A and B are shown apart, each in its own frame.
Chain A
Amino acid sequence: MSAESTTREQIASVTAEYLATELKISADGISGADVLRDLPGADSMKLLRVVSKLERQWDVEFEDEAIFAVKTVDELVALVEKSVGGDLAAS
């Protein structure tokens, strides 16, 4: 997926989809304010696997400290958004 065609909504949708697949829960039940470690079935290994899939999806690499600073779903989406770059809010 290219940066040019990526909106924040797409990033949020893919992030929820990856979380749902990894944790075996419904994507519909995931909200932006949810704390990642509090999601059902979440552990550090599964969350890191989601992060790796997001890096692959957009061919980006997150700073390790930025990854471990992320607490909520919205913060994870924002991390991807920042790495993908561009003015996504306007797209």
Chain B
Amino acid sequence: MSAVAHTAGEEIELPWHAEPSFNCFGCSPRNPVGLKLRMRRLPNGDHAAETVFSAEYASYPGIVHGGIVHVLLDEVMGDTLALVHGMLAFSVTLRSKMLLPLRVGLRYLTTARITGRGNGVLHTEAEITGPDGEVHVMASGTFQPIRSEQARNLMELDEAAFGRVRHYFDHGTGES
């Protein structure tokens, strides 16, 4: 799998890449089996990642595995929240409509945006578009901002690492 940089828009350096304790399967450039996604901000304000999956990510011959497709959706929607609001969040609900299969070796663009917030969660949506311009997957996600207490309990961060990333936690969702 490789990320390619042909999409219009500004490529974004993910600020958490500098944190050595983060080894995200979706976005870390240091995870040897990860997707190494690279995010871009598109002129319309959406955030996006381009991908080409190799046969290592297949289900049926030549078809990208559906679980990997959902990693892609989850990651691009979650990264969008992190980039727009400076918060890290857990996905609570992912919904998808798999309209067309993704094929190994072809370039796909996954675009995402934030669509709303309320009652402690944020809402996002995303699409995966193929090289022919056809929408292959439509998805929506609900995310809950991570509290520092959760991070301490779940993330196995030492005090120094926690101090470096604590600004990503305890964000409200902004609703009244």
Name A's B-contacting residues (CB within 8 A): 45, 48-49, 51-53, 55-56, 61
Contacts and interface: CB of A to CB of B under 8 A. Distances in A.
Contacts of A48: 97, 99
B95 A49 contact: no
Contacts of B95: 55, 61
A47 to B, nearest CB: 10
Nearest to B93: A61
Given A56-B125, A61-B95, A45 B100 contact: yes
B120 to A, nearest CB: 17
A56 B140 contact: yes
B112 to A, nearest CB: 13
B96 to A, nearest CB: 9
For chain B, the bracket of interface size reads under 10
B14 interface: no
B127 to A, nearest CB: 9
A49 B137 CA distance: 9
A49 B100 CA distance: 10
Interface in B96-117: 97, 99-100
A56 B124 CA distance: 11
Contacts of B138: 49, 52-53, 56
B82 interface: no
A61 B123 CA distance: 14
Q: Which 5 A-B pairs have the closest CB atoms?
A: A52-B138, A52-B97, A45-B99, A48-B99, A49-B99
B114 to A, nearest CB: 14
Nearest to B125: A56
Nearest to B134: A45
Interface string B126-150: 0000000001001010000000000
Contacts of A61: 95
Contacts of B140: 55-56
Contacts of B99: 45, 48-49, 52
A45 B138 CA distance: 11
Contacts of B125: 56
